[in-house]
C-alpha cells in the first residue's frame, strides 16, 4: 500500500507540474482574478434573481437554504476535517517540488490542500443547480465554469490534480444529496406543483452573466492586474 501511495503521489506531482507549467504574465492575471470571489458577485445576484422570478420568495428561500447547506458541507468538510486530518502539503509548500512550482503574486494558499474546497464547492453548486434547472445550455456553461475553476487552482500551484478530483467527487455527491433533500422538502414550501425552475427561461440570464464575466476577465485582466480577488 505505501508503494502504491508513493506511485500515485509521484503521478500527481508530474500532472501538477504539467498543468502548472503554462504561465504567462497575462494568464497569471486572468487566473488570479478568476479564482477569486469578488468578480463572481454578479453571478450570485443573477442566480438569486432567476430563483425569485421563476419561483417566488418561498421557493427561493428553500432553494437558497439548501444551496447554503451544500456549500457549507463541501467547504467545511474539506477545510475543517480533511485538510487537518490528512495534512497533505500544497504543491507550493511541498519541499520536494516547491522550487519547481510556479506561483502567482506570492500566493501559496494555506499549509494543507487535500482536498480542494474550491473544487468541492464548484462541483456541489453545479450539480445542484444543473438538477434544479434541467437546462442543457446552463449545464454546459456551469460545467465549463467549474472546470476552469478547478484548473485555476492547479495553475496557481495550490492544489494537486488528486486534490481536485476528490473535491469534485465529494461536491458532486453533496450536490446530488442536496437536490434530493430539496425535492423532498418542497411539499412544505409549495402547493405541490411541479418545480418552477425546470428549464425556466430566466436561466439564460445566468448563462449570459457567466459569459459576460468571462469576457470581462479576459479583456480587462491587464488593467485590473492583481488588485482584485
Tens digit of each residue's pLDDT (9 = 90 or more) over 52-95: 999 888 899 999 999 999 999 999 999 999 999 999 999 999 99
> pLDDT at residue 189 above 90?
no
Whole-angstrom distance, CA of residue 204 vs CA of residue 54: 12
Q: Which alpha helices (H) appear in the chain, and where do they start and end?
A: 2-19, 25-34, 41-76, 83-86, 117-133, 136-155, 161-185, 203-224
* Range with the largest mean pLDDT of 7-11, 114-118, 224-228: 114-118
pLDDT above 90 for 154: yes
Q: What local confidence, expressed as pLDDT, does residue 3 receive?
A: 62
Q: Supply the pLDDT for residue 1.
A: 46
pLDDT-derived band at 2, boundaries 50, 70, 90:
low
Q: Is residue 125 part of a domain?
A: yes
First to last CA, the chain: 40
Q: How confident is the model over 11-57, as pLDDT tens digits?
A: 999 999 999 988 999 999 999 999 999 999 999 999 999 999 998 88
Does 48 fall in a domain? no
Span 93-121, average pLDDT: 93
pLDDT of residue 191: 59
Domain assignment present for residue 56? The answer is: no
Residue 169 resides in a domain: yes
Number of domains forming the structure of the chain: 1
Grade residue 192 by pLDDT with cuts at 50, 70 and 90: low
Say if 202 falls within a structural domain.
yes
Indicate whether 26 belongs to any domain. Answer: no
Q: What are phi and psi of 2, to 5 degrees?
A: -60, -35
Is residue 9, in this structure, part of any structural domain at all? no
Domain extent, residue 190, equals 62-220
In a domain, 11, yes or no: no
Amino acid at each position: 500500500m505505501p508503494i502504491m501511495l508513493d506511485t500515485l503521489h509521484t503521478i500527481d506531482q508530474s500532472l501538477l507540474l504539467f498543468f502548472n507549467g503554462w504561465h504567462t504574465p497575462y494568464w497569471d492575471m486572468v487566473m488570479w482574478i478568476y479564482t477569486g470571489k469578488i468578480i463572481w458577485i454578479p453571478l450570485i445576484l443573477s442566480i438569486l434573481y432567476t430563483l425569485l422570478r421563476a419561483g417566488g420568495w418561498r421557493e427561493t428561500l428553500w432553494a437558497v437554504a439548501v444551496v447554503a447547506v451544500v456549500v457549507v458541507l463541501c467547504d467545511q468538510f474539506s477545510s475543517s476535517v480533511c485538510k487537518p486530518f490528512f495534512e497533505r502539503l500544497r504543491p507550493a509548500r511541498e519541499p520536494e517540488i516547491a522550487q519547481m512550482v510556479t506561483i502567482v503574486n506570492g500566493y501559496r494558499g494555506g499549509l494543507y490542500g487535500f482536498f480542494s474546497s474550491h473544487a468541492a464547492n464548484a462541483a456541489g453548486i453545479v450539480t445542484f443547480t444543473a438538477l434544479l434547472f434541467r437546462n442543457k445550455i446552463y449545464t454546459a456553461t456551469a460545467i465549463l465554469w467549474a472546470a476552469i475553476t478547478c484548473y485555476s487552482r492547479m495553475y496557481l500551484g495550490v492544489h494537486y490534480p488528486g486534490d481536485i478530483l476528490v473535491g469534485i467527487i465529494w461536491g458532486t455527491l453533496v450536490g446530488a444529496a442536496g437536490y434530493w433533500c430539496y425535492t423532498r422538502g418542497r411539499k412544505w414550501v409549495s402547493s405541490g406543483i411541479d418545480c418552477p425552475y425546470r428549464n425556466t427561461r430566466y436561466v439564460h440570464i445566468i448563462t449570459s452573466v457567466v459569459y459576460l464575466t468571462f469576457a470581462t476577465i479576459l479583456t480587462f485582466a491587464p488593467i485590473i492586474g492583481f488588485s482584485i480577488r
